[in-house]
Amino acid sequence: MDELDRLTISTIRGLSMDAPHAARSGHQGTAMSLAPVAHVLFGRIMNFDAANPQWFDRDRFILSPGHASILQYSLLHLYGFGLTLDDLRDFRQWGSATPGHPEVGHTAGVEVTTGPLGQGFANATGMAIAEAHIRARLGSEICDHYIFGLCSDGDLQEGVSHEAASLAGHLRLGKIVFVYDDNKISIDGSTDLSFSDDSAARFRSYGWHVVEAGDVGEDLDALEAAIREGMAETERPSLIVLNTTIGVPATEHAGTHHAHGYAIKDDEIAATKTAMGLPADETFHVPDDVFAYCRDLGARGSDAASAWSDRVESFSGDRTALDALVHGVLPDGYKDAIPTWERGESVATRKASGAVLQALVDVHPGIVGGGADLTGNTGTVISGHGVFGDDRSGRQIYFGIREHGMGSAMVGMAAHGHLLPVGGTFLVFSDYMRGAVRLAALGHHKMIFSWTHDSIGVGEDGPTHQPVEHVASLRAMPGLDVWRPGDANETAAAWAAALERPHPTAMICSRQNLPVLSGTSPAGVARGGYVLRESTDAVATVVATGSELQHAVEAADLLAEQGVLVRVVSLPCWEVFVEQDLDYRAAVLPRTHPTVSIEAGSTHGWHRWADTCLGIDRFGASAPGGEIMEHLGMTSTAVVDAIRAAID
């Protein structure tokens, strides 16, 4: 090993001990043992420009075991991404650029938010789908790069990694190259306690190219050769199996489960630094020649980035597609393509959502998507634009029965930029996706989850398939826009609003047909809530979402016949409504008279908006949907009774 490379790796290891020790928190051992392979990736293989970390055609790097974040932060400092030594000193502190786990959008050079194990690995599948798709659409002169990553035993034990690996192998995503750190250590102890998989055989069965590199963790040339072998395999994703010793070269804790966390402290840090040729009494030490060496390596992609910009400038193909796929620009006039429905029609909002999706795909080059084996059921059919597979330009993706893998792949597609992924399944199965959805919200990734069959209206399938608590639990998640439109036209307006919002979207739609109502307002929907029916002499307000909006309107009609006037409010998206100014919110939901809400789900959270809350705070039942609605009080009659009780 070249002396400067050796010193660089020692410097990374020194920083990987010092920062957690300063924070009295963190994970040292994995960062130390992976320092050589990380240096090979950043210094010899990856194509990037540290001064331009958002250059579109850069290679992507994913640290799936995000607990080893100090490894990535050390690299980002040394290679010139903007992190300073003071940032490393502030590791895991309030407001720092170096949080406990890498967060996209928070630290330059971090591609996805990782930490929950398996997620980063699964994001790579989506990133590789995006890379292959955009390359097929725009050509290799615009898009041609790799998705590199490091993963751990923990990543490969989590179920989401199995789903993603299976999908990636099936789709033959050859631009994925992951190094699997098979160090056989977990927090509890040796992985022998709970894990005896033959991971290499498992990945071969998924259709991956597997390189069993063995115990070459300190041999830079061997590491480079193994990774380049993976890169040369263009028809299959590649897994490089690497056997390392966690915490090496720590003098006491190397190879033990203690090194997984924060165990290497004062005397051992000093002894380890001495063994590596670093000053034992100096923290956060970066030799000048290491700093200059790494900064030069970090700038080596600047010419390639500049040449790429020239190619984009002279691109003679479809500029609308280029702007959408590379720059994330919404095409002009896309709202004109969105369909509308006539009053009196009867349309399930899942069907309306599917019609809107198809209309938008025809004019918006960035939309891709599909369902988790429920493509037709969830309105995520994309006709006339091919199927992603052998046709890399195809925009219909069949994710298979892999809800969690689908969600994580969608995060990867959105994080890669600039596809707008759409993924569908039944709302009740959003539980299987929750880890991915949470990271989509945390990372502010723009995507649309099409969750249908949204209530006890599912009917005969029974309580296992009838979501009750799901909408409330999704509304509790920061950064996720939850839309539950009340008819087909509200669905169209919700889609239009979602395309302009910077957040992930949950589009919650009905299985059953709903009447197209009079008076729905696209402008009102865009504000999250609005007055569907006003009355200056109203004695009460009824507020509803989704399939229950019809019952609110019917109840208002019944009461009007009895001389009782009530207002009707549609509240399809709480998150957007909360962003409106106080005067608007007070005008929509005044506190001058009683308010009754109705929604076929948990009443949790509804007391923020209503005095009396009609909902379902129990599991459903197996029967026709209309009967269940009747038995559990999701009717206009129940609304009438509640309003009369409220005003009395």
Sequence-ordered list of residues with C-beta below 8 angstroms from that of 141, at least 6 positions apart, any chain: 311
Question: What is the chain's length?
Answer: 648
Interatomic CA distance for residues 210 and 203, integer angstroms = 7
CB 248 within 8 A of CB 264: no
Interatomic CA distance for residues 385 and 368, integer angstroms = 9
Cross-strand pairs, 451: 425, 508
Helical H segments across 103-219, by residue range: 119-138, 153-157, 159-171, 199-206
Q: Region of 254 please: left (phi>0), alpha (psi -120 to 50) or beta.
A: beta
Dig out the tokens for 251 from the structure: 């003098």
* Enzyme catalytic residues: 403
Cross-strand pairs, 347: 514
CA distances (Å), 611 to each of 455, 564, 583, 589, 634, in order? 23, 18, 20, 11, 17
Q: Which residue has the tokens 């691109």?
A: 315
DSSP per residue, 414-434: HHHSS-EEEEEEEGGGGGGGH
Of 576, 503, 589, 481, residue with least CA distance to 544: 589
Interatomic CA distance for residues 406 and 424, integer angstroms = 9
Percent helix, strand, coil in the chain (nearest 5)?
A: 45, 15, 40
Interatomic CA distance for residues 152 and 168, integer angstroms = 18
Dig out the tokens for 591 from the structure: 């506190």
> Is residue 342 exposed (0-12), middle (13-18) or buried (19+ Cβ within 10 Å)?
exposed
Half-sphere exposure of 331 (CA within 13 A, CB side): 21
Interatomic CA distance for residues 211 and 498, integer angstroms = 43
For 286-342, give the secondary structure using H, E and C: CCHHHHHHHHHHHCCCHHHHHHHHHHHHCCCCCHHHHHHHHHCCCCCCHHHHCCCCC
Helices 119-138 & 434-442 angle (0-180, nearest 10)? 70
